[in-house]
């Protein structure tokens, strides 16, 4: 008895645009092909996320953009360590950021910030939240571009002002109108922030939504072949 070709179409397939997906000659997915579709979907998520863990991710942007909160969630999602540059500066100096500004001045703080970030970028892959002025420094920006993927968490002055109002540990805002200061700072720093590898909006929504947007952007970047 001859073979029924229709019952064995899985043995006669043509390649599709995906290396994990085969389509029968009649255009239908065979029984085994549905499984290959599922595998392809998993490949689009699992493998890219594993590859994302191979390089440090640096979050940049203004105070109040959510770098620390988002960074912690992003690190947990990727299974990476998390570092906050300001916390590391405080640990190294034995003083708070506010105390460094008050006692040593902003110039000394920025010098220490550069040293700490350079040290952290020599560590194994992790997620790093930087201070608002860190990425403005050309040396730090160049170092980040060589050793990490940079992401600007972009937020409007209105959003930033509402967020920073919840804390009183921002030396650059002490005794001033937060909205005016933030707007002026953003105008001065925006050109530097725009040089980040990725730009993600950090609006009024939950931080997890920002994390999800970052992961999607990183996956697209990886699948596109970017470093």
* Same-domain status, 104 and 152: yes
Strand arrangement, sheet containing 56-60: 82-84, 127-129, 56-60, 148-154, 198-201
Which residues sit opposite 14 in a β-bridge?
23
pLDDT at residue 193 above 80? Answer: yes
pLDDT of residue 26: 40
Contact predicate 65/153, CB 8 Å: yes
pLDDT at 24 over 50: no
**Is residue 101 located within the same domain as residue 11?**
no
Is a pLDDT exceeding 60 seen at residue 34? Answer: no
Average pLDDT along the chain: 80
CA distance 39 to 31: 14
Same-domain status, 37 and 91: no
Same domain for 87 and 194, yes or no, is: yes
Q: Do 58 and 34 reside in the same domain of the chain?
A: no
The answer on 118 and 31 residing in a single domain is no
Query: Percentage of the chain with pLDDT > 70?
Result: 73
Q: pLDDT tens digits for 85-109?
A: 999 999 999 999 889 988 999 889 9
Give residue 26's domain range: 5-43
On whether both 58 and 29 belong to a single domain, the answer is no
Q: What do you get for the CA distance between the two ends of the chain, in Å? A: 57
Instruction: For residues 96 and 191, state if they share a domain.
Output: yes
pLDDT at 25: 39
Tally of structural domains, the chain? 2
- Per-residue pLDDT reduced to its tens digit, 115-158: 999 999 999 999 999 999 999 999 999 999 999 999 999 999 99
CATH number at residue 197: 3.40.50.300
**Highest mean pLDDT range out of 77-81, 98-102, 169-173?**
77-81
Report the C-alpha gap between 124 and 126 in whole angstroms: 6
Indicate if 88 and 195 belong to the same structural domain: yes
CB 173 within 8 A of CB 130: no
Query: Domain check: are 129 and 204 in the same one?
Result: yes
Q: Identify the burial level of 128 via C-beta atoms within 10 angstroms of its C-beta, where 0-12 means exposed, 13-18 middle and 19 or more buried.
A: buried
Cβ atoms 204, 182 nearer than 8 A: no
Mark whether 77 and 143 lie in a shared domain: yes
The pTM assigned to this predicted structure is: 0.75
Same domain, 65 and 142: yes
């Amino acid at each position: 008895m001859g073979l029924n070709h229709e019952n064995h179409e899985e043995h006669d397939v043509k390649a599709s645009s995906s290396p994990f997906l085969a389509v029968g000659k009649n255009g239908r997915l065979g029984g085994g092909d549905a499984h290959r579709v599922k595998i392809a979907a998993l490949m689009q998520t699992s493998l890219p996320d594993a590859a994302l863990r191979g390089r440090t991710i640096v979050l940049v942007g203004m105070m109040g953009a959510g770098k620390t909160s988002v960074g912690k969630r992003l690190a947990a999602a990727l299974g990476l360590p998390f570092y906050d540059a300001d916390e590391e500066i405080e640990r190294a100096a034995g003083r708070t950021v506010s105390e460094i500004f008050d006692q040593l001045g902003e110039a000394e703080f920025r010098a220490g910030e550069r040293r700490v970030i350079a040290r952290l970028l020599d560590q194994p892959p992790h997620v790093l939240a930087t201070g608002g002025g860190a990425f403005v420094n050309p040396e730090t920006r160049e170092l980040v571009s060589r050793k990490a993927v940079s992401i600007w968490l972009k937020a409007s002055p209105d959003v930033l002002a509402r967020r920073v109002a919840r804390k009183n540990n921002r030396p650059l805002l002490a005794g001033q109108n937060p909205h005016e200061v933030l707007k002026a700072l953003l105008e001065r720093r925006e050109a530097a922030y725009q040089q980040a590898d990725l730009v993600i909006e950090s609006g009024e929504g939950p931080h997890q939504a920002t994390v999800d947007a970052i992961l999607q952007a990183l996956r697209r970047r990886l699948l596109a072949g970017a470093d």
